[in-house]
Amino acid sequence: MDGYWKWCIRDEKDREFVLDKIEGVRKRGEKWTEEEHRAWVEKRAEERSAVESGTEEEGRKVEEDKEELRN
C-alpha cells in the first residue's frame, strides 16, 4: 500500500517526511501518535496559507517549525 500511496503526495518534502515516519514506526520502533499527525497537518496548512498570502516571514517560521517536527 505504501508503494502506491506515497506517489499521491505531490510535495517531495512531505512525501519524504511521511515515508521517514513510516520507516521509523515499522523498522526503528518509533511512535507516531494521532496528536503528532494532527500537529504536522496543521503546520503544513499554515505553511500553505502563508505562502498563498505572500507572508514570507510567516512562511519561513512555519517551514522552521515543520523542520523541527521532522527531527
Which structural domain, as residue segments, surrounds residue 26?
1-31
Question: Does 51 share its domain with 65?
Answer: yes
pLDDT at position 62: 67
Instruction: Please state the three-class secondary structure of the chain as a single string.
Output: CHHHHHHHCCCHHHHHHHHHHHHHHHHCCCCCCHHHHHHHHHHHHHHHHHHHHCCHHHHHHHHHHHHHHHC
* Overall number of domains in the chain: 2
Q: What is the mean pLDDT of residues 39-53?
A: 85
Q: Is the pTM of this model over 0.75?
A: no
pLDDT at position 55: 63
pLDDT at position 34: 93
Question: Does 18 share its domain with 43?
Answer: no
Question: Does 65 share its domain with 46?
Answer: yes
Binned at pLDDT 50, 70 and 90, residue 10 comes out as: confident
Q: Which residue has the higher pLDDT, 59 or 32?
A: 32
Question: Does 46 share its domain with 63?
Answer: yes
Question: Does 39 share its domain with 27?
Answer: no
Question: Does 27 share its domain with 4?
Answer: yes
Q: What is the mean pLDDT of residues 23-40?
A: 92
